[in-house]
Amino acid sequence: MNQHLESVTAALVDGGKGILAADETVPTLTKRFDTLGIQSTEESRRTYREMLFSAAGAAAFISGVIMADETIRQKSSGGMPLAEFLLNQGILPGIKVDTGAKPLAGSSGESVTEGLDGLRDRLSAYHDMGARFAKWRAVIAITDTLPSPACVSANAHALARYAALCQEQHLVPIVEPEVLMNGSHAIGRCEEVTGAVLHSVFRALFEQGVSLEATLLKPNMVVAGAECPHPATVQEVATATLRCLRRHAPAAVPGIVFLSGGQDDRMATTHLNAINRLPGSKPWTISFSYGRALQDAALEAWHGRNENLKAGQQAFYHRARCNAAASLGNYTDEMEAEAADAASPLHRQGWHDD
């Protein structure tokens, strides 16, 4: 069983590929649509997801897609379940299985991610729908006094219980402890908190008997708070992030796939590239599992209009290509300058082929 899970894990971090996080819940995607005046309906969300999933050529850079519950139950315009539609292109279907970050009882504004009740049965059902991996996101905020030990340990425990259940149900768990960028803290504080959170998460994974060889870690990069008066340089971010991971992420984990966390899309690519270019040991494949940093430009280009579907796909293809290059340390500014259309096979095709 573990051998199968390990081969799925390896496929997800196959050299030069990363993961598309398209698992926004309906309220989150609706918020993103609202900012562009796009009407959010079951059909408009389906069309948007199909636009991304069918971008010609993107499968060369995207190994897996994380879907939300609504999406994995939807079909392509040609009538094929979207999980099967992805598999047909060589992209592994994944599913977000947490039910969201909820207020942590007794805390001052911290949260704990819920979703363990009934999870075994939900995982089994998602596996039957074609999912091959899953994702659970914990959210940790930084202030002068937070996170509290109670918040860190409750979230680590839940992540580990989730991961153990996933492996039992033949799904590879992506473990996502996100330390938020919000705040004015310096990069050193982010490194300290991220290190403590990772330490707690890996201890919990050990206690719950989770096989690290069949697990992916989806952490934040170590950055200064978004309101910090002294933003860190690219080299500082890369150095602090790699140092933190070397200290706290066991070598048995095959891959580290970063979240973008609200970084500007080009900055998320630049940071990933800089981390991969640093010298010294990197026992894991280091790649991406971006949501906003892969989708923002595509959403903007599409704007909810059918006539823009191809433009949306080109924008997505371009960011996927740049991030895939960054996962190998091969990203350059020139790649941004190259018009996406020049590189994209979409130029020669319709907006999708079912």
Binding region for ligand 5MM (CB under 6 A) = 21, 23-25, 28, 66, 100, 137, 178, 259-261, 290-293
Query: Are 262 and 225 a contacting pair, CB within 8 Å?
Result: no
Of the two residues 45 and 189, which places its CB atom closer to ligand 5MM in the complex? 45
Residue 303 region by backbone torsions, left for phi larger than 0, else alpha for psi between -120 and 50, else beta: left
Of the two residues 183 and 261, which places its CB atom closer to ligand 5MM in the complex? 261
Choice among 176, 178, 191, 310 that is catalytic: 176
Distance, CA of 278 to CA of 39 (rounded, Å): 44
Give the shortest CB-281-to-ligand 5MM separation in angstroms: 26
Distance, CA of 9 to CA of 2 (rounded, Å): 10
Of the two residues 66 and 324, which places its CB atom closer to ligand 5MM in the complex? 66
Q: What are phi and psi of 243, to 5 degrees?
A: -60, -45
Give the shortest CB-91-to-ligand 5MM separation in angstroms: 16
Choice among 17, 96, 218, 310 that is catalytic: 218
Give the shortest CB-176-to-ligand 5MM separation in angstroms: 6
How buried is residue 260: exposed, middle or buried, by Cβ count under 10 Å (0-12/13-18/19+)? Answer: buried
Give the shortest CB-34-to-ligand 5MM separation in angstroms: 14
For the question of residue 75 being annotated catalytic, the response is no
Tokens of 241: 């992030």
Closest CA to 264 of 234, 219, 230: 234
Of the two residues 74 and 346, which places its CB atom closer to ligand 5MM in the complex? 74
Secondary structure letter of residue 115 according to DSSP:
-
For the question of residue 218 being annotated catalytic, the response is yes
Q: Which residue is nearest to ligand 5MM (CB)?
A: 291
Cis? peptide before 147, omega within 30° of 0: yes
Give the shortest CB-292-to-ligand 5MM separation in angstroms: 4
Of the two residues 4 and 31, which places its CB atom closer to ligand 5MM in the complex? 31
Q: List, by residue number, the catalytic residues.
A: 176, 218
